[in-house]
Structure 1
């Protein structure tokens, strides 16, 4: 049965309103994934077939789409950003509202969307604090079918060699081809892991909790970043973790 949902998050960030606006409207892949930037006007085309319903730089941006392309489980999706200055414009306050209509399996869909929202907005803050507006090479991919198992994300943490390290700790994570990555464990809960190196944000998604494969996204800001090489290396790492040659 169809049912409306709303996910609301508010936070302050050490970035100007203009920097936040740039991050959420250009679609570079700095903290989410590359996407079509919105036409800068009310009524313009937004990403994924949406329409821009509010456009007031750098304070308010909203897009809305009905009958979401390629997603039969959702018939309405709206993203709304409100950005206000703090500390005479040196910092920003952000209110993010994701709303719409889910079709069937509402509890599971809402749980997944709300937990992903927390992680994505945390990644936005990490991007703004450490990397914006540097160009990014973005890659994202999923693990094999075995990564859908109930304990799959525990296996990811174990393969990274994180032990009982808590969010905020400095770690030496075990990456592809036996490389050790000097990183900050910038996010960790039972569903997601975030690593921040000097040049990249590497995000691990425990989507097995919602019946999907584990996923990884790599946002690489190094001058010589190679998205395809990152995908090949980390996809191989995932396959090795889950016993696929």
Structure 2
């Protein structure tokens, strides 16, 4: 039987309530990946879950919720409550018992990174059209990928490198901010998964070929 999981995150975000609302509901490509929601209760969700879901709460700049369910009992729900610029987020889902520890830890670590990235987008790029490039199963280890990107082993948040500025480093998760992009390195080795790289570009679509060569050279 599936085991329920709930994750909560909350914090103050930069920008106006409208910018935060739009970041969550319209501009997933700016900080997580391409997701589309129809802006109404009963509207369709596309891109977040494999078979899509449904918007179940839509109160602009106050409350948003999206849910997805399957006949086998699986469900996934994201709930956002905005009090001016303070966001309270709840993620509810289920995991199989044999993979619960791995999935729960991965979800926690990814969520921390995602909402840091939302803050970076709002602080530095709000109002600019986002373009997302996701590179999954990048060859090599996290250390290999970071070396290719010119990130020293000792570099931490605030440090400058050739590519830009390190804005996040927690375990195997590393964020780099350039003048036009947020580059996210998802070191997923702790869970037995390949490294992923996300590029959120704000000055036109990123060059996929160039980025694949950069991270996999």
Gaps in structure 2 of 5+ consecutive residues:
none
Following superposition, the deviation at residue 28 of structure 1 comes to 4.9
Following superposition, the deviation at residue 155 of structure 1 comes to 2.2
Could you say which residue in structure 2 is the equivalent of 1:15?
Answer: 15
Report Cα offsets for 1:16-63 as digits up to 9, x if no partner.
1111111111145111111222x2222222234211111111100001
SS in 2 for 1:219: strand
Report Cα offsets for 1:141-185 as digits up to 9, x if no partner.
1245x53xxxx112223333332111122222xxxxxxxx2x110
SS in 1 for 2:133: strand
SS in 2 for 1:7: strand
- State TM-score, norm by structure 2: 0.90
**Does 1:93 pair with 2:96?**
no
Kindly report which structure 2 residues correspond to 1:1-245, keeping only aligned pairs within 5 A, or say none: 1-37=1-37, 39-47=38-46, 48=49, 49-67=52-70, 75-85=74-84, 92-103=85-96, 104-144=98-138, 146-147=139-140, 152-163=141-152, 164-172=154-162, 181=163, 183-222=164-203, 225-227=204-206, 229=207, 231-240=208-217
Following superposition, the deviation at residue 236 of structure 1 comes to 1.5
Gaps in structure 1 of 5+ consecutive residues:
86-91, 173-180, 241-245
RMSD, aligned α-carbons:
1.9
Give the Cα–Cα distance (whole angstroms) in 2 for the partners of residues 76 and 5 of structure 1: 10
**8 Å Cα contact 1:194-1:201 kept in structure 2:** yes
SS in 1 for 2:31: coil
Following superposition, the deviation at residue 204 of structure 1 comes to 0.6
Following superposition, the deviation at residue 233 of structure 1 comes to 1.4
- State TM-score, norm by structure 1: 0.80
Give the Cα–Cα distance (whole angstroms) in 2 for the partners of residues 102 and 141 of structure 1: 25
Report Cα offsets for 1:202-223 as digits up to 9, x if no partner.
111112222221111111111x
| Structure 1 residue runs of 4 or more that deviate by more than 6 Å after TM superposition | none
Give the Cα–Cα distance (whole angstroms) in 2 for the partners of residues 79 and 208 of structure 1: 26
**8 Å Cα contact 2:6-2:91 kept in structure 1:** yes
Following superposition, the deviation at residue 108 of structure 1 comes to 0.2
SS in 2 for 1:99: strand
Give the Cα–Cα distance (whole angstroms) in 1 for the partners of residues 79 and 128 of structure 2: 25
Aligned residues: 211
